[in-house]
Structure 1
Amino acid sequence: MNRNWVLVILAGLIEVLWAIGLKHSSNWLSWTGTILLIYLSFTILVKAIKSLPVATVYAIFTGIGTAGTVVVEMLIFGEAFSWTKVFFILLLLSGVVGLKLVTTESSKKGGAV
C-alpha cells in the first residue's frame, strides 16, 4: 500500500469524526472543530486524488466514513445494534476492498489507457 492510499484511509477516518461532529456539536467550539475536520479531511483527500483514480478513491473514502460512523454511533453513542446493520456494513466494506483490489496501475492517473 503506497502513501496515497494511506492518505485516503486517514481522510476517511477523519470523515468519521466530522460526521459525528455534525450530529453532536452544540456550541461554537465544537462547530469550529467540526469545520476544521471537514477542511482537513478534504485537503488530505485532494492530495491523494492527484495520483489515484477519483471514482475509486471517493468510493473508499465514503465507505470508510459510512461504516465508521455507524460503528462509532453504535459503540459510543448508544445507537441500536442490529445484525442487519452489521451485515450491510460488511457488504459495504467488501465492496470497498473489492474496488481497491481491482484498481490496477494502468487505471491510475498518468497510466496508459
Structure 2
Amino acid sequence: MNTNWIKVFVAAFFEVFWVIGLKHASDIWTWTGTVICIIISFYLMIMAGRKLPVGTVYAVFVGMGTAGTVLSEIILFGESFVVSKMLLILLLLVGVIGLKLVTKDKAQEGADS
C-alpha cells in the first residue's frame, strides 16, 4: 500500500477525534486535544493530496471519518444503533473503496505512460 494512502487513513482516524472533540470538549485540555487532532488530520490529508488525486483523497477522508464518527458515537456515547444508518454507512464505504480502487496514483500514471 502506498504510504500516501496510509496518511489518508491516519488523517481520517484523527478526524474522528476532532469531530468528537468539537461536540464534547468542555475545558482547555479537551479543546487543546481537539485542535491538535485538527492540525494532524489536515496536515496529513494535505501531504497525501500532493501525491494523490485530491478529490479521491477528500472522498476517502470524509467517508472514513464519517463512518468512524458514527461508530464511535454508538460505541462510546450510547447513540442508538439504527440498521438503516449502518446500511447507508456501509454503502458510503463501498463507494469510497471503489473510488480508491479505480483511481491511479500520480506516480503510477507516470509509470504507465
Please say if 1:66 is aligned against 2:34: no
Q: What fraction of aligned residue pairs are identical, expressed as a percent?
A: 52
Q: Give the distance between the partners of 1:96 and 1:102, measured in 2 at CA.
A: 10
Please list the CA deviations of residues 23-66 of structure 1 after superposition, one character each: whole Å capped at 9, or x if unmatched.
11011111111011101111111111110000000000000110
Q: Show structure 2 runs of 5+ residues with no match.
A: none
Secondary structure of the 1:76 match is: helix
* Structure 2 residue identity aligned to 1:89: I
Tell me how many residue pairs correspond in the alignment: 111
Q: Give the distance between the partners of 2:73 and 2:2, measured in 1 at CA.
A: 30
Alpha-carbon RMSD: 1.6
* Structure 2 residue identity aligned to 1:59: A
Secondary structure of the 1:100 match is: helix
Shift >4 Å, 4+ stretches? none
Q: Give the distance between the partners of 1:95 and 1:13, measured in 2 at CA.
A: 18
Cα deviation for residue 104 of structure 1 reads 2.0
Q: Give the distance between the partners of 1:36 and 1:104, measured in 2 at CA.
A: 31
Q: Give the distance between the partners of 1:5 and 1:35, measured in 2 at CA.
A: 23
Structure with the higher fraction of residues in helix conformation: 2
User: Any conservation in 2 of the 1:50–1:109 contact (CA below 8 Å)?
Assistant: no
What is residue 28 of structure 1 aligned with on the other side? 28
Q: TM-score, normalised by structure 2?
A: 0.92
Q: Give the distance between the partners of 1:110 and 1:77, measured in 2 at CA.
A: 42
What is residue 78 of structure 1 aligned with on the other side? 78
Q: TM-score, normalised by structure 1?
A: 0.92
User: Any conservation in 2 of the 1:25–1:31 contact (CA below 8 Å)?
Assistant: yes
Q: Give the distance between the partners of 2:81 and 2:41, measured in 1 at CA.
A: 28
Cα deviation for residue 82 of structure 1 reads 0.4
Q: Show structure 1 runs of 5+ residues with no match.
A: none
